[in-house]
Structure formats: structure tokens, C-alpha cells
């Protein structure tokens, strides 16, 4: 009996070792929308748009209500995600214009990008969509391939600011085949799902970065008409034609064109979730949804927050963030700890079991929040000299410490102080009420700018 017991124990140990060997590192799927305002999802502020799959993602994971982009527009936020550093430290602090209009790009010789760090930890990496960290398309020095992505799918080959949403595509040569009238967002989702299926045997990092909902707003006509009817039902017959008859450029928060674009993003998120489920990967995949900056223009829904894209007020930098990882991230939870796009880099490396990056990292590993623990952070910073946009009134630097946020505007040397807990819409400037706090935060901000070698705005 003793001999049989030993044999049984040996068999159990062997089975346990075998099962353990099959447990692989968690996959990471990071999905990012372009110019999607904080209030556009049903789970944040919109009652007009329809986001059932993102609602499901929020129910299955945690919804962050104080998540920030490290910049109020595209390129610098993407630089912060790829490096874990503040844009001011990287030196990319505004969107990169096309071609020779800029001498800036994310230099592979200077940075170990997020995908490269994960690759060193055994991950297969892929990007599907927008990069916008090198715009010298005839001679890319800092494109996704130069930064080590194993698969580069559907990234821009021309400057894409004005959109390229229907096949045949003009600015995305890597999608050189497709059905007539194919919608770009749908194609990206299809390619992302295919990436998951063919790489399911090994740990992977997928960076699905949609070009939508960036202006120009454009979507399939049947979907736009669906939301025009919904608009009329809400505001009165004929109102959609009156307001949007000449196109999507109306300052109304309920925009049928944007709603249609967001519905296709939402469908894509649903496709990714279904693919993970059918591939048996959902339980072992960290799934993240984010936006690179606030919504653009007066027609964007940035919730209760002031201004939008290109501003360092909350409307320009506070973003929707949903994170799901079954059994590891609380389901249906709301997290109000301030987090930033600089945090993704150290967080993803942490959950991947990767060695900490040797390059300096401004972000924090936020995975303790997944377990209900407290994240200890002193301050968050922003710096926007608007060198590309050339908008002096928006040139500013910011420090947030606790609930207090100090903005320094350069055009008129103006300081503004807000208590975001009491005044999230930033309507009451407290500098005269709290001069000592203002001075203390200004001192912190000045020291940080020196530390990161922040460029001075060219007024």
C-alpha cells in the first residue's frame, strides 16, 4: 500500500508540474481610440451613443474615473505610453506634423519601447493601426518596425490627420486589398482578431490603435442615418437635417457621425472579446481600453469637464479607461485613484513578470489597484508648449497634487488653482484664496520642468 501511495503521489506531482508548465504569461491587449472624449461612453456620460460592448467590458472589469493622458493630443501621449516617460522628458510635446515640417521622431537609439521590453520578456508583439511617432514616411527612422514590433499591420504611410476611412485607402498602403467601401475601423478589428487567433499559443502584446473618432468624422451612411433618426426622436423632427445637413461639423454633443464611428469601435471591442473567449484566452488576458486625449471641438462630449483636446484643462486630458482581467481585476468596480498614460509601461511589465526597464520611468505600476490596494503617488505633471499648434493661449504646464491642480499659462503668466474634488469643471480659481498652496505647487512645477528639461514655449 505504501508503494502504491508513493506512485500515486508521484503521478499527482507530475501532473501538477505538467499543468504548471502550461500556464503562460498573461496576454496584453491594449485598445486605444483617437480623440474620444471622457463622456462619450454610456458608462461615463452619454445617453445618446450606443456602446453595449464597452458597457460589458466595464461590467466585467474596472472603470477608472480619474485616468489621464500625459498630453492633450496625439503624439506626446503615444510617446508616454511607449516609453513610460512624460512627453516633456522625451521631447515630443505636441502632435508631429507631416514630413519635413518636423525634425522630431521617437528615436529607437534612445528608447526601449514598451513592445521591446515585453519582447525581451518572451512576448510576440503587434501593432494594428496608428503610430504617429514618426511622420517622415519616405524614410522612417522611428516607425513601429524600427522600434521592434514583430508585426506591423495597417499603420499610416502618409499623414492621416484628415482621415482615410473607406477602402480603397490612400494613406494606409499596408491595407492594399479589401472590399470596396470597407470601413477602416472594421478592418482594423478584423486584423486584430486574426492576430490573436494566430498567436494564441504564446504570450502576446497587441496594440490596437484605432484612427477613429478623429476628425474628419465619417462613418457608413446607414449608421449615420440611424443616429440622425435618434437625434430627431430626441430633439424634434427635422433637427438632424437642420444641424447636420451640411456634414458632421456641428457643435452639438449628440453627433450622429461620431456616434456611428463609436458604434464601429464598440463592435470591434466586442469582436476582440469574443475572439479571446472562443480562443480560450479571456481568463489569461489583460484587456485595456483608453483614449489618447480629450474630444476635439465643441461637439465633443467631455462630460462635465472644461474644454477639450489641445487644452490642459480636464476636458483635454481626462480619459475613459476600462481594464479587465478576470480574477485579477475587480469586476464592476469604479476606481477613482488618479492614473496616467505613463503608468501603462511599468504596469504591463509588472504583470508580464518582466525585469524593470533600465531606462528611467516616470510612471508607476498601478497593478496594486487591481487588488484593492492604495497607490502611493506624490504628483502628476503635464507640459504643453504648443510648438506645432502655435496657439499661445493654450501653452501651459500643470501639476496635480492630491485634489489640487495648478495651471501655469505662459501667454500672460497666469496661474490658476482648482480643487478637483469640489470643482471638477474648474470654474473657481483659488489662487487668491490659497496663495501659500499656489506658491508651493508652483515651486514643485518649476523644479519638475528643470528635471525633465522641458522646452520653453516659443511665444
Nearest to 320 by CA among 68, 89, 60: 68
DSSP code string of 77-130:
HHHHHHHSS-HHHHT--S---SGGG------TTT---HHHHHHHTT-EEEEEE-
Q: Does the bond joining 213 to the residue before it have cis omega, within 30 degrees of 0?
A: yes
pLDDT at residue 3 tops 80: no
> Residue 22 — pLDDT band, cuts 50, 70, 90?
low
List the grid coordinates of 88.
Answer: 516633456
Q: What is the pTM of this model?
A: 0.94
Q: Which domains, ranges and CATH numbers included, belong to the chain?
A: 26-371 (3.40.720.10), 392-452 (3.30.1120.10)
Q: State pLDDT tens for residues 246-278.
A: 889 899 999 999 999 999 999 999 999 999 999
Query: What pLDDT, on a 0 to 100 scale, did the predictor assign at position 20?
Result: 42
pLDDT at residue 357 tops 90: no
Spatial separation of the C-alpha atoms in residues 333 and 331, rounded to whole Å: 5
Nearest to 151 by CA among 72, 206, 98, 86: 206
Among 5-19, 63-77, 282-296, whose mean pLDDT is lowest? 5-19
Query: What pLDDT, on a 0 to 100 scale, did the predictor assign at position 279?
Result: 98
> Residue 145 — pLDDT band, cuts 50, 70, 90?
very high
Q: Does the bond joining 95 to the residue before it have cis omega, within 30 degrees of 0?
A: no
Amino acid at each position: 500500500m505504501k508503494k502504491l501511495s508513493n506512485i500515486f503521489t508521484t503521478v499527482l506531482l507530475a501532473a501538477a508540474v505538467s499543468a504548471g508548465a502550461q500556464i503562460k504569461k498573461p496576454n496584453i491587449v491594449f485598445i486605444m481610440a483617437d480623440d474620444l472624449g471622457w463622456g462619450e461612453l454610456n458608462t461615463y456620460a452619454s445617453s445618446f451613443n450606443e456602446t453595449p460592448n464597452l458597457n460589458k467590458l466595464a461590467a466585467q472589469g474596472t472603470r477608472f474615473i480619474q485616468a489621464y493622458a500625459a498630453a492633450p493630443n496625439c503624439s506626446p501621449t503615444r510617446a508616454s505610453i511607449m516609453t513610460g516617460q512624460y512627453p516633456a522628458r522625451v521631447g515630443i510635446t505636441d502632435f508631429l506634423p507631416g514630413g519635413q515640417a518636423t525634425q522630431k521622431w521617437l528615436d529607437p537609439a534612445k528608447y526601449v519601447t514598451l513592445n521591446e521590453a515585453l519582447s525581451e520578456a518572451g512576448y510576440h508583439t503587434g501593432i494594428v493601426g496608428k503610430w504617429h511617432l514618426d511622420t517622415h514616411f519616405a524614410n522612417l527612422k522611428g516607425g513601429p518596425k524600427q522600434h521592434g514590433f514583430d508585426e506591423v499591420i495597417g499603420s499610416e504611410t502618409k499623414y492621416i490627420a484628415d482621415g482615410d476611412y473607406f477602402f480603397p485607402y490612400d494613406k494606409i498602403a499596408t491595407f492594399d486589398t479589401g472590399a470596396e467601401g470597407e470601413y477602416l475601423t472594421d478592418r482594423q478589428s478584423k486584423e486584430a482578431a486574426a492576430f490573436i487567433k494566430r498567436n494564441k499559443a504564446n504570450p502576446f502584446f497587441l496594440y490596437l490603435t484605432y484612427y477613429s473618432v478623429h476628425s474628419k468624422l465619417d462613418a457608413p451612411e446607414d449608421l449615420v442615418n440611424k443616429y440622425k433618426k435618434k437625434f430627431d426622436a430626441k430633439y424634434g423632427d427635422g433637427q438632424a437635417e437642420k444641424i447636420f445637413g451640411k456634414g458632421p461639423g456641428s457643435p452639438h454633443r449628440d453627433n450622429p457621425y461620431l456616434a456611428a464611428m463609436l458604434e464601429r469601435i464598440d463592435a470591434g471591442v466586442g469582436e476582440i472579446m469574443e475572439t479571446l473567449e472562443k480562443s480560450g484566452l479571456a481568463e489569461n488576458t489583460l484587456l485595456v481600453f483608453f483614449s489618447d486625449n480629450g474630444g476635439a471641438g465643441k461637439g465633443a462630449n467631455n462630460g462635465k469637464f472644461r474644454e477639450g483636446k489641445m487644452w490642459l484643462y480636464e476636458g483635454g486630458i481626462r480619459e475613459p479607461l476600462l481594464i479587465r482581467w478576470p480574477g485579477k481585476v475587480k469586476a464592476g468596480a469604479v476606481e477613482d485613484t488618479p492614473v496616467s498614460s505613463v503608468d501603462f509601461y511599468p504596469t504591463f511589465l509588472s504583470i508580464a513578470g518582466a525585469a524593470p526597464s533600465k531606462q528611467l520611468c516616470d510612471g508607476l505600476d498601478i497593478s496594486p489597484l487591481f487588488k484593492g490596494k492604495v497607490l502611493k503617488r506624490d504628483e502628476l505633471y503635464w507640459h504643453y508648449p504648443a510648438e506645432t499648434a502655435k496657439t499661445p493661449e493654450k501653452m501651459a504646464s500643470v501639476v496635480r497634487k492630491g485634489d489640487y491642480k495648478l495651471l501655469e499659462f505662459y501667454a500672460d503668466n497666469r496661474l490658476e488653482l482648482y480643487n478637483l474634488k469640489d470643482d471638477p469643471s474648474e470654474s473657481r480659481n483659488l489662487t487668491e484664496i490659497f496663495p501659500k498652496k499656489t506658491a508651493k505647487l508652483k515651486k514643485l512645477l518649476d523644479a519638475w520642468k528643470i528635471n525633465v528639461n522641458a522646452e520653453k514655449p516659443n511665444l
